[in-house]
Structure 1
Amino acid sequence: MQGLVYIFIASISVAIAGTAYFGLTFTPIEALLAGLIGLVFSLFLLERTLRQRDQIRLERSVQDLSRLLSTDAQAGRNLSQRMNELADLELGSRVDVLEADVSVLGTVVRELAETLAELERAHAQQDLSDPDGKGRRGGIEYVSSQEEKTAEPVIPPEVLREALADDRLVHHMLPIVTLPQRRTHGYDLVPRLMLEGDELAEPPDFMPGGDAQDLIAQIEGMALMDAITIARRSKTGGEPVAIYIPISSATLSDKQSRNQLMAILDANRAIAELLNFSLTEQQWDELQKKDGPVLKALAKNGAGFSISAISSLRLNFSELGDLGVRSVRADAKLFIDNPSHYTDFHTADIAAYVHRFDVDLIMCNVTTEQQVLTLIDDGIGFAQGPYLATAGPIRSDLLSQNDDFLQVNLAGQ
């Protein structure tokens, strides 16, 4: 803006010189001198105006500063008065009594939570073993994980092995979004098998059972490589996102796969905070019993865990946070329709309570807008489901360049 003013002043000076030369028949030197005089006079007026403006602005700033100092002085006097009042109180004995009461209350609450969790587990086992219950909890029908495991995949392991050899397994990204902004927080990596005619098979159609642990470990290893590449590319692009990688005992119980996993994590500590291993609550409990030190080693290397399909929110989240658990997942419909199934807290308080231990609460299987609005009212910060977003191919910019050191590392293992 000031440059335009200078241009305008120069134009006026040129106009004065032109007028003096052509209109007043001045000599060129006299016309030039008249133009310079006009230029100097204009600059003098401009400088004086700017100086007056700066003086007025400085005076206003001094006045504002004096008011702020006066306010601070008043606040200091009030604070001093309150400190004197507090000094006259006997706070030591009151604090001791309050700490004792809080300690007793914490013990009672912890014992109550543990008792309720045991009752919930016992009730769940009773429901699963009751043939007439047909998997009902709280009047809501569901399919247990044991029933899911008994279903045989449509694609036999031999065909899956050939498909892996032909590099026909791809991973798609299923977004997890924040509420209420509905921005992408992270991605679940979902394996899909490419069939003839550009068709894709979902995991239940080809994921093998317990007799093909090597195939499961191979698929999880491929997911880890894709996750590291995505995490590195997203962080380099300035928009880091959390990646959730499926993992099971097929990888953690095998010594070679476990050592390879540890080596890769150790080589990628810079992005370890973006890597989260996803597993069900049943898998978590089993791994805690069999491979507890392995889980602690993964957490020590910076990786986190996301526990899905939880049966209750009556958990020791402080302990889970210490073990590296960064998020737990619950079913949105069951949480909304029957919140007492998950927790004794009010639905508007449970997310804040869980977050106190640096654990995020993610609601899955969101299918309607009304569910989204209810979750927002309850303060739920993360959600996932077909209504919000479906799984899709990995963006090309996130996999455009493979990390060569990963290939070398895997080859060395």
Structure 2
Amino acid sequence: MIRISTIFIAICMVLLAASLGLVLYSVAGISGSESAIVALTALTFLILYNAVSMRLRDRTDVGSQIADLSRGTADLARQVAEFGRRLAAVEGRVVSANSAGADRIQAVVGEINELGTLVKQLAASVASHDDMLASGVAAVAAASKPDPEPPKVPEPPKGMSLAAEDTGMAPTAMAPAVVAEKPAASRSEAQILATVRNAVEQNRIDIYLQPMVTLPQRKVRFYEAVTRLRDDRDEIITADHFVGIAEAAGLIGRIDHMVMLRCVQVLRRLMVRNKEVGVFCNVAAATLGDPATFAQCLDFLEANRALASSFVLEFKQATFRRLGPIETEHLAALAQRGYRFSIDHVTDLRIEPRELADRGVRFIKVPAALLLDPRQASTSDIHASDLSDLLGRFGIDLIAERIEGERAVVDLLDYDVRFGQGFLFAPPRPLRPEGASATGGASPNKAQESNGASNAPSNGSGKAAAFEGPAVEPQRTTGNAALARRAVGPG
């Protein structure tokens, strides 16, 4: 588009040329044609002057623009050179980083290969050591079998003499326990069922107490109530022989209810002498799953809720693994009333402590042979030496049961086991009928006060020894005395 300034200049030139022609025509007296020619000539001159001046001005502008463009190009070239230098530096750094990374990767790969070789060697050495340990344990077990030093229940002479010497108990009290399994093994299921029915109807259910001691002090902390039945001839039938038959016949609920009653009586008598003592009472899976029988047991336990902290209900590991909705509800009802649970008959170490703690389990009894078996490390989720610490994080105490030798105690101390149970400390001892009814636990106290009982005068029935002497400390003296007797020998 034509600029406004150009139009204005053209108009001015036309006016100047016309004014010049009019002036010549009017003032100078020149004719009209001549004045028009002069005006046109002036206009042409002005046009040529304007064109030449504009051309010169455009050349000046173009020169300045070219100079500016050259300066801008130079600046751009300088910036491009700077960017090129920086890009070259970055590329050099990337190349050096890649080479360094490749070197590091090669070094790491080499180390991983070396670690793989070392792990394979370690696995081979561990496998060989496990084989050596397994063979060593087998050799030790074979060598320790003929050792007659640990007191065992199946050996009547030593068992009865030790019981009589350590506890002040009459030898006749241990006689039924020694011959317990012989009559039951030769009986048929029908005979055992009839015996169980008669025992339940005539209240011939006996309670045997076996202490659980702290390690290494061997201070009695708990008692486990073991159930035995007596037939018409006063022959003893152990739980292993009658529990399955009683469950099939629907009698185990009545037996468990009667045992709970006896255990609470024993616990009340024990707590008169020692407030820290506790009693473990076994409960069958059938009792836990039977609503009618469990309701009776729950009412009884509710009435004795004040003893909940010292009365521990014990179930088998298989029972906890097969809990149904009814059993879970019954366990929750017991836990709400403050009762704690224990697990025994443990067959493997695949244990979930968090789940058990949430259900109210506070004790787990594991056989000492299972804890010390090196083959369990490959089949369980945790090494046996770490089991006590793991359970302790969830408030569960580990109890090693079936301990029969001092060597096992030393090994269990390395596993940080706090409680122990077994024939090494004391076999299950029966409550005398008069002790169970009249004193409700005098005989168990004698097991804990064995030193005082041996030093106290006896009237023939052992009642004086049951209530004489301190309640806790003499057990440690008795253990040391038994060790000294075994070290000296039978002579």
- Other structure's SS at 2:438 match: coil
The corresponding residue for 1:329 is 365
The corresponding residue for 1:356 is 393
2:256, 2:237 → 1: CA distance? Answer: 17
2:244, 2:352 → 1: CA distance? Answer: 33
Change (3 A) 1:399 1:303: farther
2:243, 2:319 → 1: CA distance? Answer: 16
Contact 1:307 1:329 in 2 (8 A): yes
AA matched with 2:314: S
The corresponding residue for 1:191 is 227
- Other structure's SS at 2:309 match: helix
What displacement does 1:154 show?
7.6
Change (3 A) 1:328 1:154: farther
AA matched with 2:213: V
Query: What TM-score do the two structures reach when normalised by structure 2?
Result: 0.48
Contact 2:196 2:246 in 1 (8 A): no
- Other structure's SS at 1:207 match: helix
Percent identity, aligned pairs only, is 29
1:177, 1:341 → 2: CA distance? Answer: 30
Change (3 A) 1:312 1:289: farther
The corresponding residue for 2:268 is 232
Change (3 A) 1:397 1:209: closer
What displacement does 1:248 show?
2.0
1:354, 1:380 → 2: CA distance? Answer: 11
1:271 lines up with 2:307 in the alignment: yes
2:388, 2:274 → 1: CA distance? Answer: 28
The corresponding residue for 2:283 is 247
- Encode CA deviations 1:236-260: one digit per residue, 9 max, x unaligned: 3334422111112322222222111
The corresponding residue for 1:161 is 197
Contact 2:283 2:315 in 1 (8 A): yes
1:199, 1:294 → 2: CA distance? Answer: 35
- Other structure's SS at 2:369 match: helix
Relative contact order (alpha carbons < 8 A, sep ≥ 6): 1 or 2 greater? 2
Matches within 5 A, 1:31-50: none
Change (3 A) 1:351 1:219: same
Which structure 2 residue ranges, 5 or more long, are not aligned? Answer: 1-136, 139-186, 441-491
Change (3 A) 1:341 1:272: farther
- Encode CA deviations 1:153-210: one digit per residue, 9 max, x unaligned: 5843122111222221111112222111112121221111224554322112333437
The corresponding residue for 1:261 is 297
- Encode CA deviations 1:24-78: one digit per residue, 9 max, x unaligned: xxxxxxxxxxxxxxxxxxxxxxxxxxxxxxxxxxxxxxxxxxxxxxxxxxxxxxx
1:295, 1:166 → 2: CA distance? Answer: 31
Matches within 5 A, 1:61-100: none
What displacement does 1:342 show?
6.5
2:272, 2:390 → 1: CA distance? Answer: 33
2:199, 2:221 → 1: CA distance? Answer: 32
1:209 lines up with 2:248 in the alignment: no
1:282, 1:209 → 2: CA distance? Answer: 18
1:344, 1:208 → 2: CA distance? Answer: 31
2:384, 2:355 → 1: CA distance? Answer: 22
2:358, 2:415 → 1: CA distance? Answer: 26
- Encode CA deviations 1:88-108: one digit per residue, 9 max, x unaligned: xxxxxxxxxxxxxxxxxxxxx
The corresponding residue for 1:313 is 349
AA matched with 1:230: V
- Other structure's SS at 2:312 match: strand
Matches within 5 A, 1:168-183: 168-183=204-219
1:371 lines up with 2:385 in the alignment: no
- Other structure's SS at 1:170 match: strand
Contact 1:311 1:342 in 2 (8 A): no
What displacement does 1:326 show?
0.9
Contact 1:153 1:204 in 2 (8 A): no
Matches within 5 A, 1:9-158: 153=189, 155-158=191-194
Structure 2 counterpart of 1:400, from 426, 432, 438:
438
Contact 1:175 1:188 in 2 (8 A): yes
What displacement does 1:388 show?
2.2
- Other structure's SS at 1:232 match: helix
Contact 2:198 2:231 in 1 (8 A): no
Change (3 A) 1:398 1:342: farther
Q: RMSD over aligned Cα, in angstroms?
A: 2.9
1:398, 1:195 → 2: CA distance? Answer: 18
1:394, 1:190 → 2: CA distance? Answer: 11
- The size of the alignment, in residue pairs, is 256
Which protein has the larger Cα radius of gyration, Structure 1 or Structure 2? 2
Change (3 A) 1:287 1:348: closer
Which structure 1 residue ranges, 5 or more long, are not aligned? Answer: 1-137, 140-150, 403-413
1:278, 1:202 → 2: CA distance? Answer: 17
2:359, 2:212 → 1: CA distance? Answer: 23
Change (3 A) 1:329 1:342: farther
AA matched with 1:400: A
- Other structure's SS at 1:156 match: helix
Contact 1:362 1:383 in 2 (8 A): yes
1:342, 1:278 → 2: CA distance? Answer: 25
The corresponding residue for 2:417 is 380
1:350, 1:322 → 2: CA distance? Answer: 18
What displacement does 1:276 show?
1.4
What displacement does 1:370 show?
0.5
Contact 1:157 1:212 in 2 (8 A): no
The corresponding residue for 1:43 is none
The answer to which of 207-216 and 175-184 deviates more is 207-216
1:172, 1:292 → 2: CA distance? Answer: 29
The answer to which of 235-244 and 373-382 deviates more is 235-244
Matches within 5 A, 1:281-320: 281-320=317-356
- Other structure's SS at 2:221 match: strand
The corresponding residue for 1:390 is 427
- Other structure's SS at 1:307 match: strand
Change (3 A) 1:207 1:318: closer
AA matched with 2:389: A
1:344, 1:211 → 2: CA distance? Answer: 33
- Other structure's SS at 2:203 match: coil
